[in-house]
Amino acid sequence: MNKIALAFAAVAATLVVPAAAPANLPVGARAPQIVTQGALAGKPFAFNLEQALTKGPVVLYFYPKAFTSGCTLEAKAFADAHDQFRAAGATVIGMSADDLPSLQRFSTEACAGKFAVAIATPQTIAAYDVVMKRPDGSATGLATRTSFVIGKDRKIRFVHSNADYRDHVRLTLQAVKALRR
């Protein structure tokens, strides 16, 4: 491999390899308010966390990028479990730094129109402490794969941060059901 190809490979690796998992907001912390734009079944809508909490707990899950393999599989898993979340009284909302047109497509193709996805601004990503970082510690502009269950009182009741999408649905559903007890 020539020097240019090696240099390119080294730069590319720093863009896709996240650093260690962030601290995240802890259980018991007050969830920062979110007011943003998003999409549900391909249609734009305004999301307001405080308003959503008037209906019951909110599962707020951050994911790095729409249409990547893990994020698509996670969205499909949340869509498959939508009726169980609804029966438990919870609203699910996915959050990423994607633009609105991407989220509109993702909300229909990956989420099957079952739940909303919304824009996580840099301020929201920082407030929830889900900043994905490169090995050198610099921010990528993306969110880590982190799920929060937020109670009606706006307190964080559960946090799960793991790049592997597979346990997010199961664990957040357990946490939501535990709130009902």
Catalytic residues: 71
DSSP per-residue letters across the chain: --HHHHHHHHHHHHHH---SPP--PPTTSBPPP-EEEEEETTEEEEEEHHHHHTSS-EEEEE-S-TTSHHHHHHHHHHHHTHHHHHHTT-EEEEEES--HHHHHHHHHHTSTTSSEEEE--HHHHHHTT-EEE-TTS-EEEEE-SEEEEE-TTSBEEEEEE-S-GGGHHHHHHHHHHHHH-
Q: What is the largest CA-CA distance in the chain?
A: 62
- The encoded tokens of residue 91 equal 């609203």
CA 106 to chain centre: 13
C-alpha to C-alpha distances, 19 to 12, 153, 169, nearest whole angstrom: 14, 32, 23
